[in-house]
Structure 1
């Protein structure tokens, strides 16, 4: 039996910092209002001309360097994003060329909103378990600032840009122990954008605000807390684990109240939860690998630790990954 094991992590954040005080100047909000409702203090914003692929490539190269391998050794690249560089080709194909992966290796995008990284990790793990690949690169990258209405204070204060990546290598020792993925399109209208390629470019030009995120925050919050509670219980039960067996919770970085509610379900002190949203905001599919890389590089997450990653996002989608680091 082969398993995927994380052997390298990397991340990248754009240089520009947008603080709550900066937002007070462009939309009707306040630092206190944002902190109380989300826990966010600042976020990073991609520079003009800086694309999702640019962020992803930087994070990917750092993860590859961390793993100590040649990019030509990677068989598979899975990129989780809701903000690709273009409708086609996939942003993953553009990254494959940029970072020096060999021609003919497999590369594709996955779209599952904020749950995208967990989805992509699960897919890559299946490739390694089946023997279809020996090494995989999994990246979560977003330029969420490009799909925000900067006059809508309920959404523009929450999101940021960034990318995180991991290298997976096949081995006999369990790394990705298992994953659990779910979706329910019944709730799709609670967190969505109106525009897609099927509507035609003319409609977007006439009404560019259709591309911006729309969210019913209170309803999303209620469903997220309830759903994440179920996925935590499902993961523990599937692995015959007690809450105390988890060393670190690495959640999607959407809202400090949601994160706190999940930690409470695990009877886990916040000191054992990796939280980065104060300085990064909600980076959607990038948030979990960004948080993981942060905790690995500052020494909190160590070899042998048992990690629970969990996410909830538009679709609705949700999922978890139980990982022995």
Structure 2
């Protein structure tokens, strides 16, 4: 058993949270179907060398036909609940962030709630935060837990990017993969859990889906023009991500009263290995403190930060370690959050 170390109180670092909140369990689900770069070259004008050099991605997972986003979310949720030792019926809220819901209505969070048997949980859907959704959902969950009637909040990031990208368009198709990650949030002792955060936004249409909303309802013409699929300006994404992610991380660690050098694990949105490396270089952080999953899973959008969070807490993090999660998504929306890891089992 690990002796609980002294840590600065939340009051001292000024989060404004009366009740400290941490991650008490995680889960991760990726589909069985592996799609390699070589597989994509059979239908797209691209090459393994082109994809690898520009993205760092070597393979990704695609959801099997007949399965949907909620199926992945339920699998990840069950793992997180088991990891945290909480029964579904004891959940007070389920927050799902995704840009690929099962369908526009009804709520994907309600579908997951029903499948889990979490009958008293309040279902919430965060559907337009895209790749930043993981950070925004965690912050939302932490604030729900300031209400004394809430004890357990399950946050899930899940996206089937293979369903949201055009199978005929190489610019987006090579990037995205499918996955779901979950984090069980609950209260921790003072000085642990969420220490600080930062969010920002700048309206942009450089990453968008033009059809399917009130501006451009789905018609035969929009489908023929393939406007139901994700469109992305890669240069704009690069410029925003390499600028905003390091700045957000620096603001967050400063608000936590620590230095970047004090943070054991920097968990960045797994959009592109080159972006991750550039952000780490700007921060002056060695690669061993910036874990990656993008090579194996691709950009899994809302699930992205949960893939590295899950693997870090399972394999690397020790009780008392500092972790910073940071992500940027279409909009543009970006944000980061600093946690001091509390392991309720007291394991080294």
Partner of 1:193: 209
| 1:322 to partner: Cα distance | 0.4
Find the partner of 2:134 among 111, 117, 121: 117
Find the partner of 1:320 among 316, 332, 336: 336
1:265-303 deviations in Å (ceiling 9; x for gaps): 332111111100000000000011111112222x21222
| 1:89 to partner: Cα distance | 1.5
Kindly tell me: are residues 47 and 38 of structure 1, through their superposed partners in 2, closer, same or farther at Cα, counting changes over 3 Å? same
- Provide structure 1 residue ranges, at least 5 long, that are not aligned to the other structure: none
Find the partner of 2:253 among 221, 230, 236: 236
Partner of 1:151: 168
For 2:247 and 2:62, locate their aligned partners in 1 and report how far apart those are by CA, in whole Å. Answer: 33
For 1:243 and 1:124, locate their aligned partners in 2 and report how far apart those are by CA, in whole Å. Answer: 25
1:88 aligns with 2:109: no
1:64 aligns with 2:81: yes
1:179 aligns with 2:197: yes
| 1:175 to partner: Cα distance | 0.5
**Equivalent residues of 2:70, 2:112 under 8 A apart:** yes
| 1:203 to partner: Cα distance | 4.5
Q: How does 1:1-325 map to 2 (within 5 A)?
A: 1-103=18-120, 105-111=121-127, 112-173=129-190, 174-185=192-203, 187=204, 189-198=205-214, 199-203=216-220, 206-207=223-224, 209-297=226-314, 299-325=315-341
**Equivalent residues of 1:129, 1:170 under 8 A apart:** no
**Equivalent residues of 1:195, 1:204 under 8 A apart:** no
For 2:162 and 2:221, locate their aligned partners in 1 and report how far apart those are by CA, in whole Å. Answer: 17
The worse-fitting range, judged by mean Cα deviation, of 171-180 and 264-273 is 171-180
1:60-113 deviations in Å (ceiling 9; x for gaps): 00000101111111101100100001111110011011011124x211111201
The worse-fitting range, judged by mean Cα deviation, of 250-259 and 170-179 is 170-179
TM-score (norm 2): 0.89
The worse-fitting range, judged by mean Cα deviation, of 315-324 and 148-157 is 148-157
**Equivalent residues of 2:322, 2:339 under 8 A apart:** yes
- Provide structure 2 residue ranges, at least 5 long, that are not aligned to the other structure: 1-17, 342-348
SS at match of 2:170: coil
SS at match of 1:211: coil
**Equivalent residues of 1:8, 1:168 under 8 A apart:** yes
For 2:158 and 2:271, locate their aligned partners in 1 and report how far apart those are by CA, in whole Å. Answer: 15
- Give runs of ≥4 in structure 1 deviating > 3 Å: 203-206
**Equivalent residues of 1:6, 1:167 under 8 A apart:** yes
**For the aligned residues, what is the CA RMSD?**
1.4
Q: Matched residue pairs, number?
A: 321
Partner of 2:15: none
SS at match of 2:24: strand
Counting helix residues as a fraction of each chain, which structure ranks higher? 1
| 1:35 to partner: Cα distance | 0.7
